[in-house]
Protein backbone atom coordinates (compact mmCIF):
# COMPACT_ATOMS: atom_id res chain seq x y z
CA UNK A 1 0.00 0.00 0.00
CA UNK A 2 1.43 3.33 -1.08
CA UNK A 3 0.81 6.70 0.50
CA UNK A 4 -0.59 8.04 -2.80
CA UNK A 5 -3.97 6.41 -3.37
CA UNK A 6 -5.54 5.95 -6.79
CA UNK A 7 -9.29 6.07 -6.44
CA UNK A 8 -11.07 4.63 -9.45
CA UNK A 9 -14.26 6.02 -11.02
CA UNK A 10 -16.10 2.83 -10.03
CA UNK A 11 -18.33 1.85 -7.13
CA UNK A 12 -17.01 1.70 -3.59
CA UNK A 13 -17.22 -2.11 -3.68
CA UNK A 14 -15.21 -2.21 -6.92
CA UNK A 15 -12.65 0.19 -5.43
CA UNK A 16 -12.14 -2.04 -2.40
CA UNK A 17 -12.09 -5.32 -4.36
CA UNK A 18 -10.11 -3.85 -7.27
CA UNK A 19 -12.32 -5.77 -9.67
CA UNK A 20 -15.77 -5.48 -11.20
CA UNK A 21 -16.88 -9.12 -11.09
CA UNK A 22 -17.14 -11.79 -8.40
CA UNK A 23 -16.96 -9.29 -5.54
CA UNK A 24 -17.50 -10.72 -2.07
CA UNK A 25 -19.63 -7.87 -0.71
CA UNK A 26 -19.60 -9.28 2.82
CA UNK A 27 -15.80 -9.20 2.75
CA UNK A 28 -15.93 -5.61 1.41
CA UNK A 29 -18.17 -4.60 4.33
CA UNK A 30 -15.86 -6.31 6.83
CA UNK A 31 -12.82 -4.56 5.34
CA UNK A 32 -14.54 -1.16 5.45
CA UNK A 33 -15.70 -1.76 9.03
CA UNK A 34 -12.17 -2.63 10.16
CA UNK A 35 -10.79 0.67 8.87
CA UNK A 36 -13.66 2.80 10.18
CA UNK A 37 -15.48 3.50 6.90
CA UNK A 38 -18.36 1.08 7.38
CA UNK A 39 -20.81 3.58 8.87
CA UNK A 40 -20.04 6.25 6.29
CA UNK A 41 -20.56 3.86 3.39
CA UNK A 42 -23.61 2.27 5.03
CA UNK A 43 -25.26 5.70 5.28
CA UNK A 44 -24.76 6.54 1.60
CA UNK A 45 -27.88 6.32 -0.60
CA UNK A 46 -26.40 3.49 -2.69
CA UNK A 47 -24.10 2.03 -0.04
CA UNK A 48 -21.43 -0.19 -1.59
CA UNK A 49 -22.85 0.57 -5.03
CA UNK A 50 -22.21 4.32 -4.66
CA UNK A 51 -20.00 5.56 -7.48
CA UNK A 52 -16.78 7.23 -6.50
CA UNK A 53 -15.55 10.45 -8.08
CA UNK A 54 -17.64 12.74 -10.24
CA UNK A 55 -15.99 11.84 -13.55
CA UNK A 56 -18.69 9.39 -14.67
CA UNK A 57 -21.46 10.10 -12.15
CA UNK A 58 -22.03 13.69 -11.04
CA UNK A 59 -23.41 12.27 -7.77
CA UNK A 60 -20.23 10.29 -7.18
CA UNK A 61 -18.66 10.57 -3.75
CA UNK A 62 -15.21 11.96 -3.14
CA UNK A 63 -13.52 10.87 0.08
CA UNK A 64 -11.15 13.08 2.04
CA UNK A 65 -7.43 12.31 1.92
CA UNK A 66 -7.64 10.39 5.18
CA UNK A 67 -10.67 8.43 4.03
CA UNK A 68 -8.83 7.54 0.82
CA UNK A 69 -5.99 6.13 2.92
CA UNK A 70 -8.49 4.07 4.89
CA UNK A 71 -9.90 2.88 1.55
CA UNK A 72 -6.40 1.76 0.54
CA UNK A 73 -6.03 -0.16 3.82
CA UNK A 74 -9.44 -1.76 3.19
CA UNK A 75 -8.14 -2.86 -0.24
CA UNK A 76 -5.17 -4.56 1.41
CA UNK A 77 -7.47 -6.27 3.91
CA UNK A 78 -9.82 -7.43 1.15
CA UNK A 79 -6.92 -8.89 -0.81
CA UNK A 80 -5.89 -10.86 2.30
CA UNK A 81 -2.33 -11.55 1.15
CA UNK A 82 0.28 -13.20 3.38
CA UNK A 83 2.32 -10.00 3.49
CA UNK A 84 1.37 -6.35 3.81
CA UNK A 85 3.78 -3.53 2.96
CA UNK A 86 2.58 -0.10 4.01
CA UNK A 87 4.39 3.10 3.05
CA UNK A 88 3.29 5.93 5.36
CA UNK A 89 -0.27 4.54 5.48
CA UNK A 90 -1.57 7.22 7.82
CA UNK A 91 0.15 10.29 6.32
CA UNK A 92 -3.18 11.99 5.49
CA UNK A 93 -5.02 10.99 8.65
CA UNK A 94 -5.61 13.32 11.56
CA UNK A 95 -4.13 12.33 14.92
CA UNK A 96 -7.33 10.66 16.19
CA UNK A 97 -7.86 8.59 13.03
CA UNK A 98 -4.17 7.68 13.02
CA UNK A 99 -4.35 6.52 16.65
CA UNK A 100 -7.44 4.41 15.85
CA UNK A 101 -5.64 2.65 12.98
CA UNK A 102 -2.58 1.98 15.15
CA UNK A 103 -4.68 0.68 18.05
CA UNK A 104 -6.23 -1.85 15.69
CA UNK A 105 -3.20 -2.45 13.46
CA UNK A 106 -2.21 -5.82 14.89
CA UNK A 107 -5.78 -7.04 14.46
CA UNK A 108 -5.88 -5.65 10.91
CA UNK A 109 -2.75 -7.56 9.85
CA UNK A 110 -3.27 -10.60 12.06
CA UNK A 111 -1.21 -13.63 10.96
CA UNK A 112 0.54 -11.64 8.22
CA UNK A 113 4.08 -10.42 7.80
CA UNK A 114 3.87 -6.64 7.84
CA UNK A 115 6.45 -4.10 6.79
CA UNK A 116 5.58 -0.61 7.85
CA UNK A 117 7.56 2.36 6.49
CA UNK A 118 7.24 5.60 8.45
CA UNK A 119 9.06 8.79 9.34
CA UNK A 120 6.73 9.36 12.29
CA UNK A 121 8.36 7.42 15.08
CA UNK A 122 5.26 7.63 17.29
CA UNK A 123 3.69 5.26 14.78
CA UNK A 124 6.36 2.61 15.33
CA UNK A 125 5.54 1.86 18.97
CA UNK A 126 3.23 -1.04 18.07
CA UNK A 127 5.79 -2.76 15.82
CA UNK A 128 7.46 -5.98 16.99
CA UNK A 129 10.82 -4.88 15.57
CA UNK A 130 12.01 -1.54 14.28
CA UNK A 131 14.82 -0.98 11.81
CA UNK A 132 16.25 2.54 11.82
CA UNK A 133 17.99 3.19 8.51
CA UNK A 134 20.34 5.95 7.45
CA UNK A 135 22.46 6.48 4.32
CA UNK A 136 24.85 3.71 5.39
CA UNK A 137 22.17 1.09 6.06
CA UNK A 138 20.90 -0.29 9.37
CA UNK A 139 21.74 2.08 12.21
CA UNK A 140 19.65 0.50 15.00
CA UNK A 141 17.40 -2.53 15.36
CA UNK A 142 15.05 -3.68 18.13
CA UNK A 143 11.66 -3.14 19.73
CA UNK A 144 10.51 0.34 20.70
CA UNK A 145 11.37 -0.32 24.35
CA UNK A 146 14.80 -1.74 23.48
CA UNK A 147 15.65 1.22 21.27
CA UNK A 148 14.44 3.73 23.85
CA UNK A 149 16.58 2.02 26.52
CA UNK A 150 19.69 2.31 24.28
CA UNK A 151 19.24 6.09 24.20
CA UNK A 152 20.74 6.20 20.70
CA UNK A 153 19.58 7.81 17.49
CA UNK A 154 16.06 6.33 17.66
CA UNK A 155 15.62 7.64 21.20
CA UNK A 156 16.85 11.11 20.23
CA UNK A 157 14.58 11.30 17.19
CA UNK A 158 11.59 9.96 19.14
CA UNK A 159 12.03 12.58 21.89
CA UNK A 160 12.46 15.41 19.37
CA UNK A 161 9.38 14.36 17.41
CA UNK A 162 7.42 13.94 20.65
CA UNK A 163 8.26 17.50 21.69
CA UNK A 164 7.13 18.75 18.30
CA UNK A 165 3.72 17.06 18.61
CA UNK A 166 3.27 18.01 22.29
CA UNK A 167 4.18 21.64 21.72
CA UNK A 168 2.35 22.02 18.42
CA UNK A 169 5.53 22.37 16.42
CA UNK A 170 6.96 25.23 18.48
CA UNK A 171 10.55 25.14 19.54
CA UNK A 172 10.49 26.50 23.11
CA UNK A 173 14.17 26.00 23.94
pLDDT tens, position by position, 137-168: 999 999 999 999 999 999 999 999 877 655 55
Which has more confidence, 124 or 100? Answer: 124
What's the pLDDT at 12? 98
- Which of 31-35, 62-66, 108-112 shows the highest mean pLDDT? 31-35
Distance of CA 16 to the CA centre of its chain: 14
Mean pLDDT, rounded, for 13-25: 97
pLDDT at 96 over 90: no
Query: Residue 163: exposed, middle, or buried by beta-carbon count in 10 A (0-12, 13-18, 19+)?
Result: middle
Question: Please, which residues have CB within 8 angstroms of residue 93's CB and are 6 or more apart in sequence?
Answer: 66, 69, 70, 101
Q: What does the alpha-carbon distance between residue 56 and residue 102 come to, in Å, rounded to a whole number?
A: 35
DSSP E strand stretches across 80-160: 83-87, 113-117, 130-134, 137-142
Q: What does the alpha-carbon distance between residue 138 and residue 165 come to, in Å, rounded to a whole number?
A: 26
What's the pLDDT at 171? 43
The answer to whether the predicted template modeling score (pTM) of the entire model surpasses 0.85 is: no
- For domain 1-84, say whether CATH 3.10.129.10 is its number: no
Least confidently predicted of 4-13, 22-31, 157-166: 157-166
Which has more confidence, 127 or 39? Answer: 39
Q: What does the alpha-carbon distance between residue 11 and residue 56 come to, in Å, rounded to a whole number?
A: 11
What's the pLDDT at 79? 92
Mean pLDDT, rounded, for 120-149: 92
Amino acid sequence: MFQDINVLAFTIAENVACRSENIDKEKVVQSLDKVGLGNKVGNLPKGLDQMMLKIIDEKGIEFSGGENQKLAIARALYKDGNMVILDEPTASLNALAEAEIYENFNELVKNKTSIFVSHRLASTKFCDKIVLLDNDGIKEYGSHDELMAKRGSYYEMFVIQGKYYNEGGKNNE
